[in-house]
Amino acid sequence: MKIILKQVSLKTTALTLCLTLNTVLQISNCFAQPSFTWAKSMGGTDNDRGYSIAVDGSGNVYTTGVFTGTADFDPGAGNYPLTAAGVDGLSDIFISKLDASGNFVWAKRIGDTDNDRGYSIAVDGSGNVYTTGFFRGTVDFDPGAGSYPLTAAGSQEFFISKLDASGNFVWAISMSGISAGYSIAIDGSGYVYTTGLFWGT
């Protein structure tokens, strides 16, 4: 399945939409004369889903979600495949960056053999990228050559991950207990806000 990104210009406002699977996001006609700008598709033949999207001050587009199998995250003529470590159809997390014209910049994979999900993404004024969701088992949150493993104490744990503007690892933390992060936001001072759910204590 493919992850599709569309951008529509509404007067002076660029509104970026993410359409995933057969779900269609519709916008009411509250802005005059919208014009189509671009659409991009990423993914492979397996189960790929985009869950969240963010745009920085330069118009770069960031997405997170899940994928299984091998997926191509370069929506252009190039090829940038990532292969999920999840077995038997279990998903890994992807984090992707496109420029303002929809050209590929970078993509990263986070995950291990169990089910891991990225549910929300945010970007700060310096282009640092924050992601939240949940992971199971032990997962290396450094998508580069380094290693930064976190281990879920329960069946799954809430995580927050930070990458820099080039997609390099900065830090990652998890919240103990059975939990999941569903949304993330960054304020002008760099404080990180999240919401989600937890079970028990």
pTM for the whole structure:
0.84
In three-state secondary structure terms, 92 is: strand
pLDDT band at 20 (very low <50, low <70, confident <90, very high): very low
In three-state secondary structure terms, 142 is: coil
pLDDT band at 50 (very low <50, low <70, confident <90, very high): very high
pLDDT on residue 94: 97
The strand pairing partners of 163, in sequence order, are 129, 169
Mean pLDDT confidence for 55-81:
95
> To which H or E segment does residue 50 belong?
strand 49-55
